[in-house]
Amino acid sequence: MNKINLPNGDRIILLQTLVRIVESGSLSAAAQQLGTSQPTISRRLRALEQLLGTRLIQRTTHALHLTDDGERCYQQARGLLAQWQSLEDALRGARDEPVGALRVRAPHAFGQDQLIGPLGEYLRRYPQTSVEWTLNDHSPDFISEGVDCAIHVGAVTDPSVVAVLLAEVPRSTVASPALLTERPAIVDLDDLASLPWLAVNSFYRNEVVLTHATSGEQRRFGIAPRLSTDSLYAARKAALEGLGVAIVSSWVVKEELAQGSLQTLLPLWRAEPLPIYLLYPYASYYPARLRKFMEMMKETMPRIIGAQPPTGR
- The Cβ of residue 253 has, within 10 Å, a number of other Cβ atoms equal to 23
Confidence band (pLDDT; 50, 70, 90) for 201?
very high
Beta strand 149-153 pairing with 274-281: antiparallel
The pLDDT, as a whole number, for residue 146 is 81
Confidence band (pLDDT; 50, 70, 90) for 9?
low
Confidence band (pLDDT; 50, 70, 90) for 93?
low
Instruction: Please tell me what DSSP assigns to residue 273.
Output: P
For residue range 145-184, what is the model confidence (pLDDT) as tens digits? Answer: 888 999 999 988 888 888 999 999 999 999 999 999 878 8
Question: Once rounded to an integer, what is the mean pLDDT over residues 49-76?
Answer: 84
Q: Which one has a higher pLDDT value, 143 or 46?
A: 46
What percent of the chain is modeled with pLDDT above 90?
46
The pLDDT, as a whole number, for residue 92 is 61
Q: Rounded mean pLDDT of the chain? A: 87
Ranges of H-type helices in the chain? 8-24, 27-34, 38-52, 68-92, 108-112, 116-125, 142-145, 177-180, 189-193, 232-240, 254-259, 288-300
pLDDT at residue 14 tops 60: yes
The pLDDT, as a whole number, for residue 90 is 65
**CA–CA distance, 172 with 192 (Å, rounded to integer):** 13
Q: Which of 298, 139, 74 is nearest to 309 (CA)?
A: 298
Whole-prediction pTM: 0.72
For residue range 256-310, what is the model confidence (pLDDT) as tens digits? Answer: 999 999 999 999 999 999 999 999 988 777 888 999 999 999 888 888 877 888 8
- List 100's β-bridge partners, or say none: 129
Question: Once rounded to an integer, what is the mean pLDDT over residues 107-113?
Answer: 89
**How many helices (H) and strands (E) in the chain?**
12, 15
The pLDDT, as a whole number, for residue 91 is 64
> Quick one: 97 exposed, middle or buried, by C-beta within 10 A (0-12, 13-18, 19+)?
middle
The pLDDT, as a whole number, for residue 187 is 93
Question: Once rounded to an integer, what is the mean pLDDT over residues 190-202?
Answer: 95
Among 32-36, 94-98, 227-231, which range has the highest average pLDDT? 227-231
At 278 the three-state DSSP class reads strand
At 241 the three-state DSSP class reads coil
Confidence band (pLDDT; 50, 70, 90) for 4?
low
pLDDT at residue 83 tops 80: no
Q: Which of 79, 81, 19 is nearest to 48 (CA)?
A: 19
**CA–CA distance, 285 with 272 (Å, rounded to integer):** 36
Question: Once rounded to an integer, what is the mean pLDDT over residues 184-210?
Answer: 94
The pLDDT, as a whole number, for residue 63 is 74
Question: Once rounded to an integer, what is the mean pLDDT over residues 113-137?
Answer: 91
Q: Which one has a higher pLDDT value, 61 or 70?
A: 70
- Residue 28 CA to chain centroid, in angstroms? 23
Confidence band (pLDDT; 50, 70, 90) for 1?
very low
Question: Once rounded to an integer, what is the mean pLDDT over residues 178-193?
Answer: 91
